[in-house]
Amino acid sequence: MFSSVATKVFVVTGSASGIGFATASTLLASGAFLGLCDVHGKGLSNFVDTLDENQKHRVVTQIVDITDRSSVRSFLSRTKAAFGKIDGVANIAGIAGHKLGREEIWEVNDTEFDLIMNVNVKGAFNVLGEALTPGLLEEPGSIVHITSMFAERGFPKGSVYSASKYAGIGMVKSAAREVGRRGIRVNAVLP
């Protein structure tokens, strides 16, 4: 068990699968308390079903569409009410789109563009905006936002995905400058 994580409270968005699932599992195994959210309720339920009783008592879950700011706000408030504080946020929710690697930029339609930009840009804005509201996070606290290595180097047949992840880097850099004086770290990871 990592003593620096034990008894701390973290929110993990996109926790029903992939990097979010792995992050939540690692934090739980290390003794953390978690607010877990995802747009996929069945994935969240399946995750919780795998937990032992001790872990289940250290978890709050909620179906959250991060493109809906009020849903993000409600979930963060619920997590803080359940555990008394939030020490950090791992903002992992994101989407590659339905056609990543299959369409040139001129083939991408508005529906695909809107889907990717809404989740990866508006969703990131909603999570950062709500989590960094004064009084929500413990100070010092931290936020880690997942972008992508393709934010900086591009992705053939993935222009919208790359652009959306690049926008996340800009938000993270700006947010870090805004809240650094409060002792809150805001970082991006580019897997």
Q: How far apart are CA 118 and CA 47, in angstroms?
A: 26
CA distances (Å), origin 161, targets 15, 150, 165 = 20, 8, 6
- Give phi and psi for 97, each to the nearest 5: 95, 175
Q: How far apart are CA 38 and CA 15, in angstroms?
A: 6
Is residue 71 helix, strand or coil?
A: helix
CA 184 to chain centre: 16
Q: Which residues have a catalytic role annotated? A: 161, 165
- To 5 degrees, how large is the angle CA 146–CA 149–CA 150? 110
